[in-house]
Structure 1
């Protein structure tokens, strides 16, 4: 008898699809009803994602993690796969989604039409991209995700938002075109787009056709890396993210990780150690491109004159670190990178929410004033004695604490998990084969470690400068109030990073097992290809 658990893999896609379709039946003036449906569906989605992670962590449920859509046999039908990585990414998207949604209820959900519907379709696209085991359906879910993100990027209007949003649309349409070319080339050579089936065939591709296969992979890689924001393809990202509304930018923090996820999935599954002559395809590009992205992002962090653009460049630093770590092709480095992925995404999402609240406590023209004060200094005689000893409002105190936590996380300083994630990567770089064998340290390891340290220092300098200019130099005498519904999501996101710091041991063990499975995919490939159909009796 089939139970709900048997269909758990497909629920993160069906639930937002049903909720989004249901909200289309209501007039946009019925925002309270739409908000209730959206919150209920997103909260239920979070519960389902937690169950999915628990199920994926159970080694006896490997076959149950594959779900054949339409009950067609693999590789002829569409299959959804929920291993540790995809389940973790779906849960991360759900956490960011519920946080951004609650924050938006303060005012942003009423700033434009169809916010709640687009929000659910965005979650559907994200979940589908993480769960699909098929390249063509990865493209389909990419397009669902992007179509919803176009509307959300423009949500709230404003000239800067429209310009950045249209730029974002044009860039991603180009990425979609590259995606289709790559998928067509791969299908023409191998006759399949199922990822597991593709992985089983790559090593046996005739040498005359291998060039076309690798060209198709290169086109796919360009599409994924453009989405991930790798230099020089990430030129669009800081402007787009800075122009988006706060809750939209917060949920967009995981959008670049979709590109990173796709690169990691295909590079380890189809072009891993068992791919024959194509093994390790593109690793050098990922190493060099990732390190260039870290350098570009770090310089952008230092040069940013607005807090929102600073947050956008922090996204690039995070993506560059992950891409370079994936390019190392080592399971220990990948395990540390996966821990860093979760931490950096949570911290950046929280920071995007904080950015808007910081603007409320600043005086008009604060950015220009901050630059002026930095260049010419301040006249100490202007400080009034009656300001000494003023009580600090509770909301301002909480905001300052949250900002300080973001500084520690994004700069990678102890004792929080941002430091642990970077330390795990750097430690693995200088001991790539584990503690029992001699380490072979490459120049790329030195470069990546140096750039990670430099990017952390750059973030520390830039964020400290921002904190000083915000809380000391340009703070308004009467800052606008901060509502509980706005600060609560920030506390949730930062609280999860604290939990991951306290539980770093078991969480890191989970990541390392995940990384080992990714770099040794033979068992998973066999399980996916042997996915049983509904009503089929297993031997």
Structure 2
């Protein structure tokens, strides 16, 4: 494996979906199967590339586990720089796995109820992957807009009245967020003279007091865009409605899109505001905003009756927990939070796919009967205990719902419990730079209460669906619908079994994020490829 080949491999997560999406536009919509096969090949290829990049970033191939790609062979900070490290590699892998599950689930129905689903899906992956790889704020804006533009079409895909209303709200909110993004980028460039994140971390310490104030204003405005995407309270009011209205495969991908805002905040804040004159800026706002988001999501979980909104508020709880962990400012907590990010994203996405299958056995009359029996405490008369065979489809739905509930709420024995145990352990054993005692206990209590709220909400939904309803007819499930849910839950099981190696990897990722000088050294001093070397590689 040559160095040049591996360096160019870093472009694959962006170029592959770009080329595939453009190719799929040329294929007639009547050839659904052909378009699906092309999309599937591209997505599987992305999964393979992500696995290779994950292995390389955690090995000794790149210095400090950081790979740098200088676009057009321009040295940083003058050229566009792509950067991959342990965190971006694991996010690429999570994206590919979730995309594969969502794509397979869409095969039987959802990809056929509108036009250009497969092209939009690939462009969405291009934007997401580019956001994880770029080290430049303007290019982050470009990839962010590509991702959002594709998501607009996907949210409205197979439109109906509810989906149009939710989609219009989603589009307006994100257009406003994009406007703030552009204003923030302009202020940062006007103040610091650079948009390279690593170079920005160096120049912050050289700014005068008035320039530093203007930079903080620009970063604050920029953060509004990411925190809106992260559903931070009160900016995340749009999320539950959009999740409930979007088609299941699109909603599953939107769970990951919510985490992109958290990812950017985590990377930018730990890189720029960890040291120097601006050290500590914004961490308190992230902490208290995360706590408010966590409380809002907990209340929303308890108040929700519809499963789509439950999943939406579960995603809000996840974002609030992650934002609070970033603001808390402790490396050991960041490692546990990254494990929680992966686990919760897989579980909420699986739950959103599962909802569409469960809805096939939920009739309005059965739901009303279950609600009436619960409200008036009506009990069934006891029946003679007899052995009754449970149909396979109902058994799958029930067990899958139980698995999603265990991970989302943090109950043992699955990965959700390990993630929350890691969070609580880090909070009770604070290291240097950790939060104060009161903040620690507030965060700890909210994490526990959010799990309790999830237990109540999801158990109530399960009882009304499988227990209170009478004469439930087993639905007809296809393999393409069962496999994606099973895959995502199987990944949660694998996280549980391999929790030790996974946690070690993520703790190394968190430790490297808290060493901004390493990124400065790797990016700003990355040498360009000499002409002699380029000509020597030509046949």
TM-score, normalised via structure 1 length:
0.95
Partner of 1:337: 337
Alignment partners' CA distance in 1, 2:531 and 2:133: 23
Alignment partners' CA distance in 2, 1:245 and 1:501: 29
SS at match of 2:69: strand
Between 1:60-69 and 1:151-160, the stretch displaced more is: 60-69
Between 1:97-106 and 1:398-407, the stretch displaced more is: 398-407
Partner of 2:271: 269
Partner of 2:525: 530
Alignment partners' CA distance in 2, 1:223 and 1:16: 25
Alignment partners' CA distance in 2, 1:19 and 1:366: 45
Partner of 1:403: 401
Closer/same/farther in 2, CA of residues 466 and 86 from structure 1, 3 Å limit: same
Partner of 1:380: 380
- 1:119 is aligned, of 118, 121, 131, to 121
SS at match of 1:66: strand
Matches within 5 A, 1:456-467: 456-467=451-462
Partner of 1:107: 109
SS at match of 1:277: coil
Deviation (angstroms), 1:521 = 1.5
Closer/same/farther in 2, CA of residues 75 and 456 from structure 1, 3 Å limit: same
Alignment partners' CA distance in 1, 2:470 and 2:78: 61
Matches within 5 A, 1:175-254: 175-254=177-256
Partner of 2:72: 70
> Contact 2:66–2:83 at 8 Å: present in 1 too?
no
> Contact 2:373–2:379 at 8 Å: present in 1 too?
no
SS at match of 2:399: helix
Closer/same/farther in 2, CA of residues 224 and 64 from structure 1, 3 Å limit: closer
Matches within 5 A, 1:278-317: 278-317=278-317
> Contact 1:430–1:439 at 8 Å: present in 2 too?
no
Between 1:175-184 and 1:472-481, the stretch displaced more is: 472-481
2:97 matches 1:95: yes
Closer/same/farther in 2, CA of residues 219 and 59 from structure 1, 3 Å limit: farther
Alignment partners' CA distance in 2, 1:355 and 1:28: 28
Deviation (angstroms), 1:365 = 4.3
Alignment partners' CA distance in 1, 2:335 and 2:373: 44
**Structure 1 spans left out of the alignment, 5+ residues:** none
- 2:427 is aligned, of 414, 429, 435, to 429
Q: CA RMSD in A?
A: 1.8
Partner of 1:48: 49
Closer/same/farther in 2, CA of residues 522 and 480 from structure 1, 3 Å limit: same
Deviation (angstroms), 1:384 = 8.1
Alignment partners' CA distance in 1, 2:193 and 2:397: 55
Closer/same/farther in 2, CA of residues 401 and 477 from structure 1, 3 Å limit: closer
> Contact 1:99–1:490 at 8 Å: present in 2 too?
yes
Deviation (angstroms), 1:459 = 0.3
Partner of 1:446: 441
Q: Deviations over 1:293-352 (max 9, x none)?
A: 111101111110101110100000000000000001110111110111100001111010
Alignment partners' CA distance in 1, 2:90 and 2:411: 25
Alignment partners' CA distance in 2, 1:388 and 1:307: 31
Partner of 2:493: 498
Alignment partners' CA distance in 2, 1:521 and 1:421: 26
Partner of 2:169: 167
> Contact 1:128–1:138 at 8 Å: present in 2 too?
yes
Closer/same/farther in 2, CA of residues 330 and 389 from structure 1, 3 Å limit: same
Deviation (angstroms), 1:533 = 2.2
> Contact 2:367–2:465 at 8 Å: present in 1 too?
no
Alignment partners' CA distance in 2, 1:309 and 1:369: 21
SS at match of 2:189: helix
Alignment partners' CA distance in 1, 2:32 and 2:526: 43
Alignment partners' CA distance in 1, 2:471 and 2:76: 62
Alignment partners' CA distance in 2, 1:532 and 1:341: 35
